[in-house]
Amino acid sequence: MLSSFGQTVKVSVFGGSHEPAIGVTIEGLPKGQKIDMDRLQRFLARRAPGNNAFSTDRKEPDIAIVKAGLHGGVTFGPPVTIIIENKDTNPSDYRTLKNIPRPSHADYTARLKYGEHLNMSGGGPFSGRMTAPLCIAGAIAIQVLESHGIKIGAHIFSIADIKDEPFDAVHISKEKLERLANDPFPVISENAGLAMQEAILVSRETGDSLGGVVECCAIGVPAGIGGPMYDGVESALSQVFFGIPAVKGVEFGAGFQSTRLKGSENNDAFYFDGEEENRTVKTKTNNHGGILGGITSGMPIIARLAFKPTPSISLEQDSVDLETGQNTKLVITGRHDPCIVPRAVPVVEAAMAVGLLDLILSDK
């Protein structure tokens, strides 16, 4: 099992929900970069559970501890290693599930792969908790990108069939992205947000769960990053995006919707923007999501990630008992997120940030 990705900025994640620690090593960061650890800590808090009624009320105090790579809060070349010590590693809550895999969870395939050796209590390396180290790397990447004038933001695009307004793919202001980053339930339309919250509460009461889509963007990315074919921006970002648990679809720009448009509708006309001296080439629409031929165009990069509904539900389900070899019924007890999507928003931002930073620093 490999747990790393990246060419220039290599991110390597380790640990699990019931090991002594989880953490991340990041190689290849530019030297001399000041990292604001308070801000990193606040970013981590956005992912943490128990912040409000829409998530599980488990408490995981995620304190990022720098072990290596920063002198006075500044990178200086060698890899940065940051860990989170696990306080509560009592696996008792999960023990009854050991031989009965939860439907659509990784229990079954993890057992196939790791057999007796993997204590799946709490999800092990498949735990949603493993997105915390990604968020640490992302919080750092976000700070590095901002020093290059690049800003990343995301919002809940949809929960079940309740849709937020999409990003205006042509004009996205830094202010809007900052407002979203400070919103515990980040949506563009207040009404859509209220309807989503209502749906999540209903889902929680019925013991069921909901999925949704997160839309993420990056503005200020220079044109000309990436390359054709397997070196392209979509290839690189999708690899990181699909590394987030529960993601089952990724699209850029108009994505699947573009397949229902004619070429004359989908094509983004070029024009010169700005005065004589500073004119830059832009597109009137942005169905290409800021990427043409695998290379950034200078327009905002737009991606949407589909999160399936949380597989852990309280309703009785059909499953198998791998010990007895019999079909059986399963009722999962314990505390679970009725909808992972709100907590996934910073994770998607982190993935976008880390992926983009690697692309930019790898670019020739």
Interaction with a second copy in 185-204: which residues (CB under 8 A)? 203
Q: Does 288 bind a second copy (CB under 8 A)?
A: yes
Min dist CB 82 to a second copy, Å, is: 10
Question: Looking at 144-152, 164-172, 177-185, 261-269, which segment touches a second copy (CB under 8 A)?
Answer: 261-269
Nearer to a second copy, 176 or 358 (CB): 358
| Angle of the 341-362 helix axis to the 233-241 helix axis, nearest 10 | 140
User: Are the C-beta atoms of 3 and 137 separated by less than 8 Å?
Assistant: no
Distance from C-alpha of 193 to C-alpha of 155, rounded to nearest angstrom: 10
Distance from C-alpha of 152 to C-alpha of 6, rounded to nearest angstrom: 19
Q: Does 250 bind a second copy (CB under 8 A)?
A: yes
Tokens 């057999």 sit on residue: 115
Min dist CB 49 to a second copy, Å, is: 17
**E strand or H helix at 352:** helix 341-362
Contacts of a second copy in 304-333 (CB under 8 A): 306-313, 315, 317-320, 322, 325-327
Q: Does 89 bind a second copy (CB under 8 A)?
A: no
Which backbone phi and psi does 28 adopt, to 5 degrees?
A: 85, 10
Strand 291-292 to 295-296 pairing: antiparallel
**E strand or H helix at 84:** strand 80-85
Alpha-helix residue ranges (DSSP H) falling in 86-184: 107-114, 131-146, 174-181
Contacts of a second copy in 98-157 (CB under 8 A): 101, 103-106, 108-110, 112-119, 124-126, 130
Q: Enter the tokens of residue 222.
A: 């220079």
Q: Does 51 bind a second copy (CB under 8 A)?
A: no
Q: Does 212 bind a second copy (CB under 8 A)?
A: yes
**SS3 label, residue 138:** helix
Min dist CB 17 to a second copy, Å, is: 11
Contacts of a second copy in 290-309 (CB under 8 A): 292-297, 306-309
Q: Does 81 bind a second copy (CB under 8 A)?
A: yes
Question: Looking at 13-21, 54-62, 144-152, 171-179, which segment touches a second copy (CB under 8 A)?
Answer: 13-21
Q: Does 166 bind a second copy (CB under 8 A)?
A: no
